[in-house]
Structure 1
Amino acid sequence: MYIPAHFNEPNRDVLYDLIENNALGVLITHGASGLDANHIPFEFDRSQGECGTLRCHVARNNPVWQDVATGDDVLVVFRAADAYISPQWYPSKQEFHKQVPTWNYLVAHAHGRITIHDDERYVRRNVAKLTHRHEGRQPVPWKMGDAPREFIDAMVKAIVGLEIEVTRLVGKVKLSQNKELRDIRNAGEILNAQGDHQIGEAMLAAAARKSEQG
């Protein structure tokens, strides 16, 4: 990923939060059948390994777990939010007319080595963790024990576990940081007014940091 210096996010905790809050990642592999991409919800353990560990599961019918081998290099892409930015939102455009449209976004790329876990105990444990994490937001959380045991047993046997030891983590936070302070702030305020709060608030925070830096 091309990352100009002003868009680089070096803070690992910021990237960890981005991954945990946007669990659906794109697993990119280059196995025996060539390039492939699978959209998968991940459980992230920031305490294990140098840069954390990602865990997930796929359908047994998904060929990805047989197309790659334990130890292969893979890439997982996590995207938090994105928004179109009109040059009309930059006050400097009205004076100098030297602005063009762009697209702002927040992403993290996790590079790592994959391990295949065709192991029912491993899969069951990971499904339970993923379920607990996301059902915890519900008024009445669903748990695996709510379904008949034989049904859950059959579902677990139909999936395969994947684990990725993250060896390199990079982030790109593109929020118009290369623009004038007034341009960043005004575009962020317009996005907030339009309901694009995640990028809007992130741009206002970027403007505040730029102001503090002088």
Structure 2
Amino acid sequence: MRTLALLHALHENPGLTLHRVGEGVKVLPAVPEEARPVLAHFKPALLQALEDGERVEASRLLSSPFRLLALLAHALGVEAPLVLTLYGKEGEPPRRYPVPPENIALHLRRAELDLTPPRRLHLAAVDGRWTVDLVAGWEGVLEVGVGDTALLLLSPEEGLRGYLQAAARALLPPEKLNIWRRGKAPFTARG
């Protein structure tokens, strides 16, 4: 199941509260039928993105770039150390931080409390298996799968168009490009 399905399910149900209790996740109110298989599939990622006893609304997971990065990292699978790059104000040099794979959610929650919200965040597994690039004000996501590498680009609409044009110039097959825009179901670039 694609990570875009998780983003879509959370966006379509922003009032859901996810409550981690031990090794379980309670969803309040009851999980809508259409979101049930998606949330069940991504239960391990949701468990890792929440601390025991923590309650978080779906809308909060999507609106906090640091919380969203933690969730996406776990949804993509964490098997190697990570590097977080933060882009502050225009003209400032990017700042890079190692992120320990065993404490991603805690590390990123602390970063959210201690740092000014950046205009762009980039989180990558050092083994090259996946990268998430999140631009403030994102409206949609382009998911690119090439070989064993996954790339998630969360961007405003203008940036999505630019990424799609670059992918076409790189001669990537359309079936390798999956797109999700807020309020719409995920789809493959070919249709």
TM-score, normalised relative to structure 2: 0.27
TM-score, normalised relative to structure 1: 0.25
